[in-house]
Amino acid sequence: MICVMITSPLLIARERWDGLQVAARLRSIFRFPVMLAAGLTFLAFLTCSSRFDDPDLWWHLKIGQIIWNTHQIPRTDLFSFTALGHSWVDHEWLSQLVLYLVYHVGGYPALVLWLCVIASTIVVLTYVLCGCWSGNWKVSLLGAIAALFFLTVSLAIRPLLIGHLFLVVELLLLYYGIVRRGRSIWALPVLFVVWANCHGSFLLGLFILMFAVAGSCLKFAARRLWLGCDRATAIRFGVVLGLSLLAPLINPVGLSLVTYPVNVAWAQPEGTGNVEEWKALDIHDPRAIGLAAVLALVVIVSIVRRRSISAGEWSVLAPAAAMALLHARMTPVFGFAAAPVVCRLLAASWENYDRRRDRPAVNLFLIAIAGFMSLAVLPDTATIQRQIATREPVAAVTEIQASQLGGPLLNDYAWGGYLIWSNPAQPVFIDGRSDVFEEIGVFRAYGRWAMLQEDPQKLLDQYGIRTCLIRSSAPMAHVLPYLPGWKRVYADKLAEVFTRNDSYKSVVQR
């Protein structure tokens, strides 16, 4: 009896203590910033739900399929008759393998889910970066939304998105490793091993790392803190930088994978000058207006509020803005660089998150709603097929296959990837791998032909073209019917098919 009287209060106290611990854990999990991150996740899912198709997705999938089936990485062109057998560097082989495995497991819906998950992860990590840099989790919400806005220029199922993810991860590792002196910086060499095998943007990440390490060492030197732990910290940064510079060499392709990004920047003027995403940012593009507004906001707030911008912030922000203006595809990089700076400048303009006023139950309810809505906006297979049909010549390819229009096929540049995936038996003339076709002169020849800069019959005769698949809006669609021996055999609002084969008499209009 005495034992019961003694142990009962202890058991009750222990149960209360356990209950308090559970409540504390729930309170720490379902916090206000977590709820905002769930809202950002829904926003990313909603933005990506209608962005399934990308012209390059298809040949990425095909190469991933080849790697999975043959256990070998292609080193020459396998898909065109104009560059067949020509050497080619598959610098995105790991991303392509991942994309195909996602498709292999769940088809097109799984690829959409992959896109949504990667995009939302990028946005949420940017939110975390802004919160760490500014100290204000409410203002950081605006920074993450701005980053998503700039990210939309390249928000598609493609290896470039993985490159953006790794860039944000690098910025977070640098923050915790340099600003907070944590050990996370040792993860950078491992990150660069994976990054280099996924996408060529690893080179940009290495430049950022070099600037960060150089800036930290100069800061230590200026403050004369080379002795003791700070000297050891600087040495640690140098070791991490050295290992990171060597990390890209760990790949199954060879040195050409490491030098590929430099080759793109300096030895492919046709591709970077004519492919839309490599062109300068259009001043009428909403993202260009947003970029100008962000830069103006940074300058105005720094002057009015007298909040100085550090040299380190300018060293990242200014080059990122220049890259975005020169090449539209670099706009997301500007978003990742600008969001933390803007949030820090505006941190005092909005009341910060107060943990004591948190409402875990309300947060949990809103998180659940955001999760349900995120899944609800995912498109089904039929919706995805309709998305594909709005951009790819689905009906025209079906007509080519049904009518057995053989012979060399000249296709629209943006449709080469879809033909590689959907019509693999017929080699393409050109596809999105502009580097291959620029080296052998096909890219330039195709551009001159498509823009009517020379006699169109010259290229058709040179390659013995028997079938042409071009856009209905293309200038050549109005010229081909008047060339000797050519006739239109199929037409819809998106694509037209022309052939030299006189045995095919019918004309299909839809």
Instruction: Give residue 244's pLDDT.
Output: 96
* Helix residue spans in 327-471 (DSSP H): 331-346, 360-376, 381-391, 394-403, 416-422, 434-439, 442-450, 456-462
Q: Is-contact 74 90, C-beta < 8 A?
A: yes
Q: Which helix (H) or strand (E) holds 498?
A: strand 495-499
Instruction: Give residue 506's pLDDT.
Output: 41
Query: Assign residue 428 a region: left if phi > 0, alpha if psi is -120 to 50, beta otherwise?
Result: beta
- The residues of the chain scoring below 70 in pLDDT are 1-27, 216-231, 267, 271-273, 307, 501-510
Instruction: Give residue 228's pLDDT.
Output: 41
Instruction: Give residue 448's pLDDT.
Output: 94
Per-residue tokens: 292: 């100008």
Instruction: Give residue 510's pLDDT.
Output: 43
Instruction: Give residue 227's pLDDT.
Output: 40
Q: Angle at Cα 429 formed by Cα 428 and Cα 433, nearest 5°?
A: 85
Nearest to 200 by CA among 289, 95, 127: 95
